Each structure stands twice: as C-alpha cells, then as structure tokens.
C-alpha cells in the first residue's frame, strides 16, 4: 500500500483525491511535504521511479509484453494463371486494402507461366513502391514461377518457394511468328536490363537473374535458396509466417521488422468485375467469343428472323472486342478475320460454287494465326492451336454442308410449279382424242394426247405443259 501511495505521489498531481484511503492520503501528504523518504517528482522520471517498486514493474512489463505480442493481420491473395490486366488490378486493390487494414505485409501466392509485359511492369512498380512489405510465395507444390513471374518474385521484399516448385525460364520467345536476330537481341537486352535493375534493388543474385533471361535457365526451390534467388523455402503458409517473423525489410518509409508469428491471415478474393476481366483477358476466350459472334451473324443472315442467333452473335462480338482491347492485337490479323466474314456473307448472295467460302476459310486461318502479337517477346500470350484449328474446321464443315446442300438443291428435280408436274403420273377422266381431261395430284387438268387416242380410266404420264394444258402419254 505504501508503494502504491509513493508511485501515486509521483504520477498524480497535487490536489487529486479520487478513490483513496486515509493511508494513501497520509503517504502522499508526506511525499509532498518532504517528510517521506521517496523520490521527488522533479528529481526522477516515472520510469526510474517505477523501477524501485518490483511489484508494479512486473505488472507493467507483463502488460507491455501482452500488447507487443498481440496478433497481427497479414493479407494474402492468390494469382493462379497468366499475368494480365485483371491480375495487375487485383494486386493494386489488394495493396490498398492491406494498407487500410494496417497489415504487417501482403503475401502473393504465385503460380504463373508468365503473361503480359505491361501488366508485369505495373505489378513490379506497385511492389517496389509499396508502403508495406510484399512477400511472394511460389506455391503450392508443383507450381511454377516462369517468364513474367520471375520479375514479380525478384521484386518482392521477401521471396519464398514451396517444395516441388521451380523458377526461371525468362528468356524472350517469339510468339505468333519468328523474330529476326536484331529484334530478338533488342528484346533480350531490354529484358536483361529490366531484371538486373530489380535484382540490384532487392540485393539478389544478379548473375543468375541475367542468365534466366539470356539462357532461359530454370531452377528448383532448393537451388534458388542456395543461389540467393529467393530468401528461403517454406512448406506451408504457417511455416512462411513463422520464418518471416523478426525479419527486417526496407520500404520507402524506412526499415520495418515483421511480426507475423501467429498472425491472423485475411484472404482476399477477386471481385466480380476482376473475375470477368480475368476470364476475358484469356486470348482463347476472346477468340472463341469472336467466332461465336461471326457464326451468330451468319446464321441470322442465312435465316432472317431467327432472332436468337443474331442476339447471341452481337453480344459475343461486343464481349470479344472488349476482351481484345486488353490484349496486344495485330490489326492485320483482325482485318483478315473481318475480310473472311465478308467473303462468307458474299457466298450467301453470290453463286461462286464455293470459291468465296474457300477464300474465307483461308483468310480466317491466316488472321487467327496473326491475331495476337506481343508488344514484347517477353510476353507469354498466344491463342491455342487447338482452338484455332477447331474453329476453322467447324467453319469449313459448316460451309461444306451449306454449299453441298445448295448444289444438291440445284441438281434436284423441281417439286413445285410447272416443272414439278413434268413426269408425274395421273389418270384420264375422259377419252383423249386427242383432247380431254385428266386428274393429277387430285387436280383436274385439260390435257392433249401426244400420240394416238387415250381411253378413259387409264394411267397417263405428263410429258410437258403448254399454256396450262398438259401434254400426256399413256403409261404402258
């Protein structure tokens, strides 16, 4: 009680009474009057004064330890697929949310074969300028961090890999066609400079980073740790948090020490708009939507008034053009596809015996091959050959069916009108000598015998028609 009174005499202002006992008031009065042998508030600071009282010191340190070990929040996101505008937007929004939640760090669980260079640069820039530490964790087992993913992993404040993963293969490749040696050299040098700047910023293995670009090497997680490409290996997210705890990293505002042991993990998912953009950013989806739009319009033109094919076609075309807007498009390839559509439409109106349709199929194939052209050889974006060949084959089969049906219709015997009656069999209603009446298909016609006289009630065959008069012969 005396110790509490003495501490209160240091910390409480003179004149304060509150809820205190008589003994407390007495001890405080002695303190302020100078008769008590305690520290004077002007001679010692509160921390020094508290150190003289073991009971309160233990209580204070216990409270301080409890506050310091309070569970922190870690924000985690997952990128499983190509690096595209949707992935870049997801990383940007996740970083903003992590900062708002005062999270210890943002963990990006990465599994990617690569993606668009523009989106990669956006993500790398966001990571390098992030206000909180960013951790890239290549997972789960069997995941890869290739092409554009290498740049993102090296840009992280801390990079880790799960067992059974690999990183590398960032050498530029030619997509949708071969590049000449000069353009390839330019792309390789640009990629090498880009990855060197990132590795130097994060103090990672510069030599390996350049080899990953120039020689397209790829290494396992164990080799990556030994070569100081990544910081460590982590078997799970809990293991990652334990190894991150106590690690110091540099952010724009200074050095921070991570406190992630036992932290609460808040997982963020893509929003609806980001999921839609992610789906539409797939070049195969964009191409399929484009083909559906073309087929829908063609069916509507072949069968005017069907409505449904036209509606589906227009919606598909609008989504296809939105999707193509997010991708590096070769306008020559798009022009060839549109020219193929024109040829298909012309085939409907013009009798070309299939030549326009063949030209349309060839134009469609060439345009599909050229449709996606990367802005840089670093980009891993292309249309699957399976999708291209399937679409062209379906188009070819469709027009072969339509053209074949048309040829058979031209060669077939007319079934209506005057031409449709020639060769038909009927019955004579009156003797034809040479004129009389006959019944054909339930209709009564005036008829003339081609040769001789035809008696009543016998089978006759129509030879020709002249001015609504049938010329017939007797069926033997």
Both structure tokens of 19: 């809820």
Would you say how long the chain is, in residues?
A: 476
Residues 6+ apart with CB under 8 A from 134: 95, 105, 106, 108, 127, 155, 156, 157, 158
Domain boundaries, the chain: 2-68, 73-272, 282-411, 417-474
For the domain 73-272, what is the CATH superfamily, name and number?
A: 2-enoyl-CoA Hydratase; Chain A, domain 1 (3.90.226.10)
Parallel, antiparallel or unpaired: strands 459-466 and 443-449: unpaired
Mean pLDDT of 131-138: 96
The Cα–Cα gap between 25 and 56 comes to: 19
Distances in Å between the alpha carbon of 67 and those of 61, 62, 215? 10, 9, 51
User: Which two structure tokens, joined as six digits, stand for 224?
Assistant: 């990556």
What CA–CA distance (Å, rounded) separates 192 from 252? Answer: 25
pLDDT higher than 80, residue 406: no
Partners of 427 in the beta sheet?
A: 439, 459
CA distance 199 to 196: 5
Tokens representing residue 13 in the block: 């202002």
Does the pLDDT of residue 285 top 80, yes or no?
yes
Query: CA-to-CA distance for 99 and 330, rounded, in angstroms?
Result: 39
Using the predicted structure, report yes or no on whether residue 266 has a pLDDT greater than 90.
yes
Q: What is the pLDDT of residue 16?
A: 40
> Could you give the CA distance from residue 200 to residue 208 in angstroms, rounded to a whole number?
12
Q: What confidence tens digit (pLDDT) does each residue in 232-265 have?
A: 999 999 999 999 999 999 999 999 999 998 889 9
The pLDDT of residue 181 is: 64
Strand partners, 437: 446
What integer pLDDT is reported at residue 334 of this predicted model? Answer: 87
Q: Is the pLDDT of residue 227 over 90?
A: yes
Torsion over CA: 183, 188, 191, 196 (sign): negative
Q: Token pair of 301, please?
A: 């033109």
The reported pLDDT for the residue numbered 54 is 63
Buried-state track 391-428, b at ≥16 Cβ within 10 A, e below 16? bbeebbebbeebbeeeeeeeeeeeeeeeeebbeeebeb
Q: What's the whole-number mean pLDDT along residues 190-203?
A: 90
Residues in a beta bridge with 248: 257
Q: Whole-number mean pLDDT of the chain?
A: 80
Q: Does the CA dihedral 286-287-289-293 come out positive or negative?
A: positive
The pLDDT of residue 209 is above 70? yes
Between CA 185 and CA 200 the distance in angstroms is 22
Residue 10 has pLDDT above 70, yes or no: no
Provide the pairing of β-strand 73-80 with 106-111: parallel
What pLDDT score was predicted for residue 409?
A: 63
Above 80 in pLDDT, residue 172?
no
Name the band, by pLDDT with cuts 50, 70 and 90, for residue 418. Answer: low
pLDDT of residue 466: 84
Of residues 55 and 323, more confidently modeled:
323
Query: Looking at the domain that runs over 417-474, which CATH code has it been given?
Result: 2.40.50.140
pLDDT tens for residues 82-107? 898 899 999 999 999 999 999 999 99
Q: What is the mean pLDDT of residues 287-301?
A: 86
Predicted pLDDT of residue 163: 95
Q: Annotated catalytic sites, by residue?
A: 147, 186
d(C-alpha 60, C-alpha 70), whole Å: 16
272 pLDDT tier (thresholds 50, 70, 90): confident
Q: Is the pLDDT of residue 6 over 50?
A: no
The two three-digit tokens of residue 402, written as one number: 């339509």
Segment 104-130 mean pLDDT: 92
Indicate the range of 138-147, 311-320, 396-405 predicted with least confidence. Answer: 396-405
């Amino acid at each position: 009680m005396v110790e509490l009174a003495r501490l209160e005499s240091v910390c409480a202002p003179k004149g304060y009474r509150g809820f205190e006992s008589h003994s407390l008031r007495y001890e405080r009065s002695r303190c302020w009057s100078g008769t008590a042998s305690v520290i004077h508030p002007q001679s010692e600071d509160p921390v020094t004064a508290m150190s003289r009282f073991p009971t309160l010191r233990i209580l204070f340190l216990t409270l301080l330890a409890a506050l310091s070990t309070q569970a922190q929040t870690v924000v985690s996101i997952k990128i499983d697929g190509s690096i595209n505008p949707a992935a870049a937007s997801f990383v940007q929004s996740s970083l903003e949310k992590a900062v708002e939640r005062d999270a210890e760090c943002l963990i990006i669980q990465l599994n990617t074969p690569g993606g668009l260079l523009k989106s990669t640069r956006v993500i790398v820039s966001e990571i390098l300028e992030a206000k909180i530490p960013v951790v890239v964790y290549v997972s789960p087992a069997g995941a890869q961090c290739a092409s554009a993913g290498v740049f993102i992993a090296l840009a992280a404040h801390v990079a880790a890999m799960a067992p059974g993963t690999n990183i590398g293969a960032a050498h530029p490749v030619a997509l949708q066609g071969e590049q000449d040696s000069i353009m390839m050299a330019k792309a390789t040098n640009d990629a090498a400079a880009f990855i060197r700047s990132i590795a130097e910023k994060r103090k990672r293995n510069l030599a390996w980073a350049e080899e990953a670009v120039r020689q397209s090497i790829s290494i396992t997680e164990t080799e990556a740790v030994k070569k100081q490409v990544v910081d460590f290996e982590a078997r799970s997210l809990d293991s990652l948090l334990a190894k991150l705890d106590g690690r110091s990293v540099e952010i724009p505002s200074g050095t921070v020490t991570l406190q992630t042991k036992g932290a609460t993990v808040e997982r963020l998912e893509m929003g609806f708009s980001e999921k839609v953009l992610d789906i539409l950013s797939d070049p195969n989806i964009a191409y399929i939507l484009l083909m559906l739009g073309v087929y829908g319009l063609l069916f509507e033109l072949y069968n005017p008034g069907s409505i449904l094919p036209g509606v589906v076609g227009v919606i598909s075309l609008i989504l296809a053009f939105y999707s193509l807007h997010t991708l590096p498009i070769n306008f020559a390839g798009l022009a060839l596809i549109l020219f193929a559509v024109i040829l298909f439409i012309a085939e409907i109106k013009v009798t070309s015996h299939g030549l326009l349709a063949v030209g349309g199929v060839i134009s469609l194939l060439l345009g599909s091959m050229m449709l996606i052209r990367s802005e840089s050889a670093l980009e891993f974006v292309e249309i699957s050959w399976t999708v291209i060949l399937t679409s062209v084959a379906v188009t070819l089969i469709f027009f072969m069916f339509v053209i074949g049906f048309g040829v058979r219709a031209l060669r077939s015997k007319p079934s209506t009108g005057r031409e449709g009656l020639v060769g038909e069999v009927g019955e004579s209603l009156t003797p034809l000598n040479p004129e009389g009446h006959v019944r054909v298909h339930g209709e009564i016609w005036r008829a003339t015998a081609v040769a001789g006289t035809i008696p009543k009630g016998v089978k006759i065959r129509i030879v020709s028609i002249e001015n609504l008069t049938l010329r017939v012969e007797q069926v033997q």
